[in-house]
Amino acid sequence: MEVKILAVGDICGDPGLQFLEKKLKPFRQENDIAFAVVNGENANVVGITPKQADMIFRSGADVITLGNHTWTRTEMQPYLEERTRILRPANYGPQCPGRGIAVYHKDFGDICVLNLMGRFTLDNNTDNPFPIADGYMAEIQEKIILVDFHAEGTSEKRAMGYLLDGKASAVWGTHTHVQTSDACVLPKGTGYITDLGMTGAIHSVLGIDPEQSIGKMMGDPPRRYEAGKGPGKLEGCVFTVETETGRCLKAEAVRLT
């Protein structure tokens, strides 16, 4: 049996939330998507609130993954403890609230989702994601394994893809908000894309108002980021996976406008 799994790039601010609410469920129905993972890292532009996480779930996400802004909103800490369908990077310290890996039961079989974060320039106190990922692969029993690697460096992301080739069903990168053109199935059967892109305002700088981003580059004083305005887009990747083996058969980048 084959199933289609959708990974959605970072939701950025109200434009991203509203576009997701409008587009995700119809896209799932039209394309027979069995499972959807959405990165909610920037739903509040920086970080995410419980209310926004609830909205992402209502919009059709099965799982929300996070990244370097996980702890920006302190009210998320009990939310992460209480809900198993939202993950923070597994390479944060074990004393941190929430979990970085979980198994979800579906009628076609169980799915394991792992959230990891890179260390290059993200300036977070995290453990090395590579031995952690490798160690988890030795323990996971489920056939379908999905990995959201929230990282800055393209080399770091591609190295993770090849490390997990033949072990995970799909590995995708998030964080840089620009969709890459390398969606593929790696030699040993793992679906891969370096970055899913983002879900937010089309006319923006990584989801942020262009004038503010230009001002920052020109040396303006720091201020709270504001999301871009105008029409939205959703970017991500659809992975077609064989349930009996967990092998990815096809990886196709997606952009909805």
DSSP string, 186-241: -TTS-EEES---EEEESSSBTTB-HHHHHHHHHTPPP----B--S-EEEEEEEEEE
Total Cβ atoms within 10 A of residue 213: 18
Stretch 173-177: mean pLDDT: 97
In a 3-state reduction of DSSP, which class is residue 71? coil
Stretch 133-146: mean pLDDT: 97
- What pTM was computed for the model? 0.96
> Which residue type does 145 have?
I
Beta bridge partners of 114: 101, 147
- For residue 121, what pLDDT is reported? 80
- For residue 138, what pLDDT is reported? 94
> Which residue type does 59 have?
S
Q: Band the pLDDT of 224: cuts 50, 70, 90.
A: confident
Which of the residues 69, 150, 175, 177 is marked catalytic? 69
In the predicted structure, residue 215 carries a pLDDT above the cut 80: yes
> Which residue type does 73 have?
R
Per-residue model confidence as pLDDT tens digits over 9-41: 999 999 999 999 999 999 999 999 999 999 999
* Structural domains of the chain sorted by starting position, each given as residue range(s) with its CATH number in brackets: 2-256 (3.60.21.10)
Q: Band the pLDDT of 222: cuts 50, 70, 90.
A: confident
What average pLDDT does the chain have?
96
Place of tokens 């702890």: 71
In the predicted structure, residue 123 carries a pLDDT above the cut 90: no
Q: How far apart are CA 251 and CA 249, in angstroms?
A: 7
b/e map 141-177, b = 16+ CB within 10 Å: ebbbbbbbbbbbbeebbbebbebbbebbbbbbbbbbb
In the predicted structure, residue 137 carries a pLDDT above the cut 80: yes
- 150 as an active site residue: the answer is no
Stretch 160-168: mean pLDDT: 98
Q: How far apart are CA 79 and CA 230, in angstroms?
A: 31
**In the chain, pLDDT over 70 holds for what percent of residues?**
100
Per-residue model confidence as pLDDT tens digits over 65-83: 999 999 999 999 999 999 9
- For residue 122, what pLDDT is reported? 79
Is the CB of residue 41 less than 8 Å from the CB of residue 13? no
